[in-house]
Homo-oligomer: A and B are copies of this chain.
Amino acid sequence: MYARTLDKEMSGSIIATRREVADLAGVSEATVSRVLNGVGPIKEETRIRVLDAANQLGYVPSNLARSFARRKSGNIGVVLPYIPKARLFSSYYFSEILSGMGNTVREQGYDLLVLFRSGEETPEYESFFRMQKVDALVVLGAKDEPGEREALRKLRESGHPFIVVNQHFDGENFPEVDVDHEEGSRMAVEHLIDQGHRRIAFLNGPLTYSNSLDRFKGYEKALQQRGLERDDRLLFEGNFGRRSGYAIGDEIAKRIEEVDAVFVANDRMAVGLLQRLRELLPDQHRFPAIVGYDDSDSADICVPPLSSVRVPFYEMGELAARLMLTACEGPSNGSEVLKEHPRYLLQAELIVRDSSK
């Protein structure tokens, strides 16, 4: 209804109508829309003809005309935690997921709208839809906190398509793309036990992330399966940053006689730990075996090359984006795809290198 009202308003003398653009370009009005909204496959030649016609007539395809006609922004939103001064894009984790998303949405003619969320406030995810900035939302870097649960519940109730990546909310049934970090961690620790190590320290990340909890479960499971007892003095916690791994290197070096091996929850911390241990134990006497997690670029650059659990981050980004595009383009907004299979679980893989041989 409003689309019609608007078209009438717009057919005045100042602004050309879509009809006039279509006539001049010799195409249908639907084609004009598709070109100007930048969606769907369009021949380059047709695209140029339509844009030329729109330019000649001074036709302005306003966002309202677009959104009232289709209620679409052409953008897939991606929420990132906002940490002032942090170089989020530079972390392997975020950059790989974003690369996978970016390539996928681009191939469907969508753009990626990067939305930062401050850690303090309860996020207002719904408002991005209300303001028609996005057609679907991918939430990265979420933590299990009451405000986050509340915000995601509201979003689910609103019926807008969204998905949470690499974070599980127990008991919520949110659509999620995640990785089996429990099994990934179990494999890593089992490998260390197979290498003859018994006193295996664990440097984990903060437990507000479900993937840290999953890693802990996997660590424990491997010990249990092999009849080893957990020693809580061998449990350490960092913040996933290289410096925190470096700092914990001091503690581990002091107790090096009690430690055969270290399983580290991401490569950044493992690289910092390796660096510090090389400084403090230069004679390589009793250098512990180390397995990292993520299999990032740095794993095979550092010395010794780092064994690591490979996580298909790029594929997670691809899958999340593809699910969102399906939800945007599908019948009745396609969100039933997400309701049927709310949790997509990808597999991790252990890559063994010199650091644990």
Contacts and interface: CB of A to CB of B under 8 A. Distances in A.
A62 B82 CA distance: 26
Interface size of A as a range: 35 or more
Nearest to A115: B111
Interface string A126-156: 0100111100000000000000000000000
Main secondary structure of the interface of A (DSSP, over half): helix
A107 B9 CA distance: 37
Contacts of A133: 74-75, 111
A301 B89 CA distance: 19
Interface string A242-281: 0000000000000000000000000000010001000000
A84 interface: yes
A114 B104 CA distance: 13
Contacts of A38: 127, 131
A85 B64 contact: no
Interface string A311-333: 00010000000000000000000
A124 interface: yes
A297 interface: yes
A5 interface: yes
A111 B111 contact: no
Nearest to A59: B130
Interface in A81-107: 82, 84-90, 92, 94-96, 98-99, 102-103, 106-107
A121 B44 contact: yes
Interface stretch (A65-73, A197-205, A207-215): A65-73
